[in-house]
Structure 1
């Protein structure tokens, strides 16, 4: 077991030790959740949770917000920036926080690095420790920032969710090797708050195993991307209970076209239930997607501690 896998399997005690969120979104402010790479995918899910809890929100990549803020939120609306960065040093995210603060917008930082540049650019801070062996690829830190963002949105995320995530990982683990055998095309599907996690799963697969991967809202998949499905495809379907019937029909279509389907919360080649507190399914599923990327990398003799062309912190200039 390498350090990447240890970080995936040992993240659950970190969830239970993560601090309760003692701050809340400012009333009447649009919540702009910014990040880069993994963090902007996590931001996508956090923004959905904020909207679902009555706080107008949207996710924006860091540099897009710095350079084109009014393409995303009309001028004149009060905004609060929620900036996500594991290291607190990512150039684009720190710049988004600094320029926002200079413009008079309050900034909340969610990070695993106290005393970082992002913390210095924030008015309020939500931080926790990540796994000490975590390398370039974000695993435990991604889950932790999602958890903290869910609590910031007003959700209850406690020990029952941790237990559900650990159980799902344990149940999925014996099936992953069989699911990936002979598969070179990986598709991650999820609606609502699952969509950001689907994007993160696709990113993990790319950076860990150098594989062809993609992410979509489930019912959008028939509108073009399904043309790529064949006997080399593995689809990870994260079912939303609001659309379980429609997504189940899609899964059966994909199976008929030769794909294998890992059904998290619904039917598939392998079907596994997703537990946890209400609405926490995206967080519960995330460790399985991380371990899947590690297993595909291992099958290709790739070292996830040294992914190609990547560094732990992206700094520019």
Structure 2
């Protein structure tokens, strides 16, 4: 296929520039006028597909950072079963996330929450003039991250940056450049790794593991692999993987662990066990722990510096490239995933 995946490839590789542009725009947002998380009993992050997985990451990362009670709920669940999530006696802050701002379920969810008297909302989107953005007085808009391709890549990571600033916007002025430089270094160093594993026709099963906030990122990596390449891919919490799912592991598997910054030995033990079952094993984690992972097939070290929760965007670009390379190897066009459209719009 001539020029297959050209848009997706450009969008993945443009993140070094787009992150700087997005952070520059975020720096001009008046977060002082936004609802304050500490004023609410719970914060509900909501979205669909990729942005639901972004919500999973955001809820855990935000609660870990602030101590605020946070939940992640698919937008469809929020408007179909509101009683399961909204407690009338509790003050709720809704954070609605949508690349397009036109996703029907997320619009319905926020409208329903507004009608039920939810106390406040924040919208994170790449389209400042979208319908969803018009439903809230607090909007983080990231137009530089808009995409031509269907699968979310730079929009996802840029919206992660936007969400991170909801809880704190007191980051060093040098952060955008340093974060961009770190990404550029990782992509240049590990691009061939993504290509090698993506093209390896012995691998037919991909498993992505993560704990805490990184479980949401593992889910997003799984979705990218499924969307772009139509490959068998699953995501699990690290230790949950032993409770049944590891029965699918064999010599045709690749297990990828998104490691905790504190290097939890129980996570590492899971990867050792999967290697013992014949799987190829890759880990992505802090650079200072590189010596601990020599017995695995591959380790991608990341220098998280003092990026705090912002630094977790660095887990994803190589995994996006892995899905891209697998798509091409399978004869698929990453720009046009099977059966999918950029926006899901439901009939009234």
Tell me whether 1:28 sits opposite 2:44 in the alignment: no
Structure 1 counterpart SS, 2:218 = helix
Q: Residues 171 and 272 of structure 1 are in contact (CA less than 8 Å); yes or no, is this contact kept in structure 2?
A: no
Structure 1 counterpart SS, 2:302 = coil
Q: Residues 54 and 156 of structure 2 are in contact (CA less than 8 Å); yes or no, is this contact kept in structure 1?
A: yes
Tell me whether 1:274 sits opposite 2:302 in the alignment: yes
Which residue matches 1:313? 343
Which residue matches 2:227? 207
Distance 1:22 1:269, change over 3 A: farther
Which residue matches 1:17? 21
TM-score, normalised on structure 1?
Answer: 0.95
The structure 2 residue matched to 1:170, chosen from 178, 185, 188, is 188
In the aligned structure 2, how far is the partner of 1:299 from the partner of 1:249? Answer: 31
In the aligned structure 1, how far is the partner of 2:7 from the partner of 2:225? Answer: 17
In the aligned structure 2, how far is the partner of 1:308 from the partner of 1:17? Answer: 31
1:191-239 CA-to-partner distances (Å, cap 9, x unmatched) read 1111101000001110100011000111111111111111111111110
Q: How many residues align?
A: 317
Structure 2 counterpart SS, 1:315 = coil
Which residue matches 1:65? 78
The structure 2 residue matched to 1:299, chosen from 297, 317, 329, is 329
Deviates more, 1:201-210 or 1:59-68: 59-68
In the aligned structure 2, how far is the partner of 1:42 from the partner of 1:260? Answer: 27
Matches within 5 A, 1:174-189: 174-180=192-198, 181=200, 182-189=202-209
Shift of 1:131: 4.4
Matches within 5 A, 1:1-317: 2-18=6-22, 19-20=26-27, 21-23=29-31, 24-26=34-36, 27-29=38-40, 30-52=42-64, 53-105=66-118, 106-131=120-145, 133-154=147-168, 156=171, 158-180=176-198, 181=200, 182-265=202-285, 267=293, 268-276=296-304, 277-317=307-347
Q: Residues 25 and 153 of structure 1 are in contact (CA less than 8 Å); yes or no, is this contact kept in structure 2?
A: no
Structure 2 counterpart SS, 1:261 = strand
Q: Residues 136 and 305 of structure 1 are in contact (CA less than 8 Å); yes or no, is this contact kept in structure 2?
A: yes
Q: Residues 208 and 304 of structure 1 are in contact (CA less than 8 Å); yes or no, is this contact kept in structure 2?
A: yes
Shift of 1:16: 1.0
Structure 2 counterpart SS, 1:231 = coil
TM-score, normalised on structure 2?
Answer: 0.86
In the aligned structure 2, how far is the partner of 1:216 from the partner of 1:166? Answer: 28
1:279-307 CA-to-partner distances (Å, cap 9, x unmatched) read 44431111111111100001011001111
In the aligned structure 2, how far is the partner of 1:133 from the partner of 1:315? Answer: 18
Shift of 1:256: 1.5
In the aligned structure 1, how far is the partner of 2:39 from the partner of 2:69? Answer: 8
Q: Residues 111 and 135 of structure 2 are in contact (CA less than 8 Å); yes or no, is this contact kept in structure 1?
A: yes
In the aligned structure 1, how far is the partner of 2:20 from the partner of 2:213? Answer: 22
Q: Residues 12 and 320 of structure 2 are in contact (CA less than 8 Å); yes or no, is this contact kept in structure 1?
A: yes
